[in-house]
Chains A and B, each alone.
Chain A
Amino acid sequence: MKGDSLMHWNRGRGLFSLVSLVAAVALLAAACGGDDDDTTSGTTTTDDRSELSGSVAIDGSSTVFPVTEAVAEEFRSVAPDVRVTVGVSGTGGGFQKFCNGETDISDASRPIKESEIEACAEAGIEYLPLRVGLDGLAVVTHPETDFLECITMDELATLWRPESEGSVTSWNQVRASWPDTDITLFGPDTDSGTFDFFTEEVNGEGGASRADYTNSTDDNVLVTGIAGTEAASGYFGYAYYVENSDKLKVVGVDDGEGCVIPSDETVSGGSYPLSRPLYIYVNTAALVEKPQVREFVRFFLSDAAIALVADVGYTPIAVDELSESRAALEAAIAGGG
């Protein structure tokens, strides 16, 4: 009996402290909410940013990494006390951490997959996808391979599809007018987002590719391989071609509307068929609760920061899409607050 009454007393006390805790949290939240409204309604100046602190945790695609790194570097000059960290776990690895609540922003070189959407939903993580740029995939060859000027998407499929493994070994099997020269192929390994995108676009199924080609995680190895092998061909990020244009020849790609050589114009205009979007996925809760994350993403979408996309070798998104993204971002901030 004594034990019973003691338990009741304890429970009552526990309930009381719980109620007061909830009240305190609610008060605090209200106070913070009011604070948030102030910063969102007013124009954000650099002075506000210089007072920010805390951390912004980013992880994900190694393709998007140079962009995020450049933006983080510039952000440091306007908000020196904010600690921005960027990892390179790959798009998939990044989403795994993102949906586990370990990161605020996830870099991705493809849209989020169904299984990842489920993982995020299960953990109660809501997010806002923002497209920040485009990355063209360059199909390249040895500079002395004269016959290879332009290739159609169908011919690319003939060259790279799984059924061609071991059977399509000579260039005249790809197009009859091409010489009977042996094909040597180079490409990214199967863990790469580049591989996923290329196989999806060319062979119609992500991951479906012939396997008898020299693969490497390091695109510089592919560059060296193709530059040193006559009649070799391969594909990788356009930025790697730009840096090595003296050693390699880029091949135009024809998707039924004529031959298109990748360039900043053809990639951003969408006429080059092999260009993929680069995304950042932002945790909506972090956007609302952490002022440093909010300001970082706003900074990311500013004109100055988006120009950095071009600096590191990718193509920035078009102006009208940028303003749409900004509107979506402000809506997410306001909606959550």
Chain B
Amino acid sequence: MAAGNTTVTREGYVPRLSFRQTVGTGFLALCMAGTMVGIVFLVVLLTDVWRDGVGFLRWEFLQNFPSRFPERAGFQSALWGSLWLIGTTALLAFPIGVGAAIYLEEYAPKNFVTRAIQVNISNLAGVPSIVFGLLGLQIFVRGTIGIGPSVGGGFGRSIIAGGATMALLILPIVIVAAQESIKAVPPSLREASYGVGATRWQTVWHHVLPQAFPGILTGTILALSRAIGETAPLIMIGALTFVAFRPEDLLDPFTVMPIQIYNWVSRPQADFHDLAATGIIVLLVVLLSMNALAVFLRQWTGRRYGR
């Protein structure tokens, strides 16, 4: 402690303790203000939406189909359309995204080509969603690849076309999230596995993936949460506004929650604006449930694999 004493009493050193503490407090206040800005606006927005939308928040709202009478209009086709779409997107994006991440992290040689692919994946994450809409319209709806059942070899304006477009949209996010989780698995684990004679496949399947799984899952669900709020690419590929039936298979036409909300907001009658707020509440509930599921799965799988 003698060394500490000499530093403090060294000639020319002015402690200015209160000044430094004031700066510290000021910094804390600035950080808190930064947090509060977001929270205050969120609270204002949520209160506003709740006040407008609570009036129409009834069981019938989830059971009815769109109508020209606000009191009879409902969200059923939009809610089911969104759920079908998200399910399809997840089924397509998850295996492809995780597969790509495993390849890039575990198998790909660290050379120029791999780095180029990596940079492009990161860039794709920043491409405006409408561009994916254009791509989806040409490839999946009108059928450039020519494997679909509709005229011209596309899938028409169907759930599968929408789901495939959305899967492309979120793939970069899924790949990057999965890569980060795989990267976080300590190399010692792999070395131990190789050390007892396991093959690469066995190492990846039995040791790396289970460890990385919670992170991969969280990343995927957060990416899907982004997809559920997207409107622009779906309007581009021709998701519809008035749909008075629940989709029954992947080739059915569909609508989604954000499109229905947008349609109600742009109506002249004030009642439809309130109806849009009710729709926003339902959309938020679905979104928060998905995020809660992500947290839960993370905890659950984490515990299971001893994390």
Interface residues of chain A, those whose CB is within 8 Å of chain B, are: 55, 57, 59, 62, 65-66, 68-70, 72-73, 76, 83-89, 97, 101-102, 217-220, 237, 239-240, 242-244, 308, 311-313
Please state if B68 and A88 are interface contacts (CB–CB under 8 Å): no
Please state if A84 and B242 are interface contacts (CB–CB under 8 Å): yes
Q: Tell whether A66 pairs with B267 under 8 Å between CB atoms, given A73-B66, A73-B67.
A: yes
Q: Tell whether A73 pairs with B265 under 8 Å between CB atoms, given A66-B68, A89-B238, A97-B238.
A: no
**Which of A97, A220, A311 is the one whose CB lies under 8 Å from B273?**
A220
For A240, what are the chain B residues with a Cβ–Cβ distance below 8 Å?
268
Would you give the 0/1 interface string for B259-284, flagging 1 where the beta carbon is closer than 8 Å to chain A?
00001011111100100000000000
Ranked nearest first, the 7 interchain pairs of A and B with the lowest CB-CB distance are A86-B242, A243-B268, A70-B68, A87-B240, A240-B268, A85-B240, A69-B242
Query: From A244, which residue of chain B is reached at the shortest CB distance?
Result: B268
Query: From B156, which residue of chain A is reached at the shortest CB distance?
Result: A102
In whole Å, how far is B248's beta carbon from the nearest beta carbon of chain A? 10
Query: From B267, which residue of chain A is reached at the shortest CB distance?
Result: A66
Please state if A239 and B268 are interface contacts (CB–CB under 8 Å): yes
Please state if B238 and A87 are interface contacts (CB–CB under 8 Å): yes
Please state if A220 and B265 are interface contacts (CB–CB under 8 Å): yes
Distance between Cα atoms of A243 and B270 in the complex (Å): 8
**Which of A66, A83, A89, A313 is the one whose CB lies under 8 Å from B245?**
A83
In whole Å, how far is B68's beta carbon from the nearest beta carbon of chain A? 4
User: What are 5 residue pairs bridging A and B, where the CB atoms are less than 8 Å apart in the complex?
Assistant: A69-B68, A69-B241, A73-B67, A219-B266, A237-B268
For A239, what are the chain B residues with a Cβ–Cβ distance below 8 Å?
268
**Which of A83, A86, A218 is the one whose CB lies under 8 Å from B241?**
A86
For B253, what are the chain A residues with a Cβ–Cβ distance below 8 Å?
55, 57, 83, 85
Q: A85-B242, A87-B241 are in contact. List 15 more A-B contacts (CB 8 A).
A: A62-B266, A65-B263, A70-B68, A73-B242, A83-B245, A85-B253, A87-B240, A88-B241, A89-B235, A218-B265, A218-B266, A220-B273, A237-B268, A243-B268, A243-B269
Distance between Cα atoms of A89 and B245 in the complex (Å): 20
For A220, what are the chain B residues with a Cβ–Cβ distance below 8 Å?
265-266, 268, 273
In whole Å, how far is B145's beta carbon from the nearest beta carbon of chain A? 18
Distance between Cα atoms of A271 and B192 in the complex (Å): 88
How many positions in chain B have a CB within 8 Å of any CB in the partner chain? 25
Query: From B273, which residue of chain A is reached at the shortest CB distance?
Result: A220
Query: From A240, which residue of chain B is reached at the shortest CB distance?
Result: B268
Q: Does B244 contact A (CB under 8 A)?
A: yes
Query: From B244, which residue of chain A is reached at the shortest CB distance?
Result: A76
For B244, what are the chain A residues with a Cβ–Cβ distance below 8 Å?
72-73, 76, 83-84
Q: Tell whether A219 pairs with B268 under 8 Å between CB atoms, given A57-B253, A69-B68.
A: yes
Distance between Cα atoms of A97 and B266 in the complex (Å): 23
Please state if B151 and A308 are interface contacts (CB–CB under 8 Å): no
Query: From B263, which residue of chain A is reached at the shortest CB distance?
Result: A88
For A55, what are the chain B residues with a Cβ–Cβ distance below 8 Å?
253
For A88, what are the chain B residues with a Cβ–Cβ distance below 8 Å?
241, 263
Query: From A72, which residue of chain B is reached at the shortest CB distance?
Result: B242
B61-78 with Cβ < 8 A to chain A: 65-68
Distance between Cα atoms of A84 and B265 in the complex (Å): 22
For A66, what are the chain B residues with a Cβ–Cβ distance below 8 Å?
68, 267
For A72, what are the chain B residues with a Cβ–Cβ distance below 8 Å?
242, 244
For A101, what are the chain B residues with a Cβ–Cβ distance below 8 Å?
151
For B265, what are the chain A residues with a Cβ–Cβ distance below 8 Å?
218, 220
In whole Å, how far is A94's beta carbon from the nearest beta carbon of chain B? 10
B58-105 with Cβ < 8 A to chain A: 65-68
Distance between Cα atoms of A46 and B270 in the complex (Å): 35
Distance between Cα atoms of A102 and B253 in the complex (Å): 12
Q: Does B130 contact A (CB under 8 A)?
A: no
Please state if B242 and A102 are interface contacts (CB–CB under 8 Å): no
Distance between Cα atoms of A242 and B270 in the complex (Å): 12
In whole Å, how far is A309's beta carbon from the nearest beta carbon of chain B? 11
Distance between Cα atoms of A239 and B244 in the complex (Å): 25
Distance between Cα atoms of A217 and B270 in the complex (Å): 17
Q: Does B243 contact A (CB under 8 A)?
A: yes
Distance between Cα atoms of A218 and B241 in the complex (Å): 16
For A65, what are the chain B residues with a Cβ–Cβ distance below 8 Å?
241-242, 263
In whole Å, how far is A14's beta carbon from the nearest beta carbon of chain B? 23
Distance between Cα atoms of A68 and B244 in the complex (Å): 13
Please state if B151 and A312 are interface contacts (CB–CB under 8 Å): no
Q: Which of A62, A69, A239, A312 has its CB near the most chain B CB atoms (within 10 A)?
A: A69
Query: From A74, which residue of chain B is reached at the shortest CB distance?
Result: B68
Distance between Cα atoms of A89 and B253 in the complex (Å): 15
Query: From B259, which residue of chain A is reached at the shortest CB distance?
Result: A88
**Which of A73, A84, A237 is the one whose CB lies under 8 Å from B68?**
A73
In whole Å, how far is B124's beta carbon from the nearest beta carbon of chain A? 26
Distance between Cα atoms of A324 and B267 in the complex (Å): 31
For A83, what are the chain B residues with a Cβ–Cβ distance below 8 Å?
244-245, 253
For B241, what are the chain A residues with a Cβ–Cβ distance below 8 Å?
65, 69, 86-88
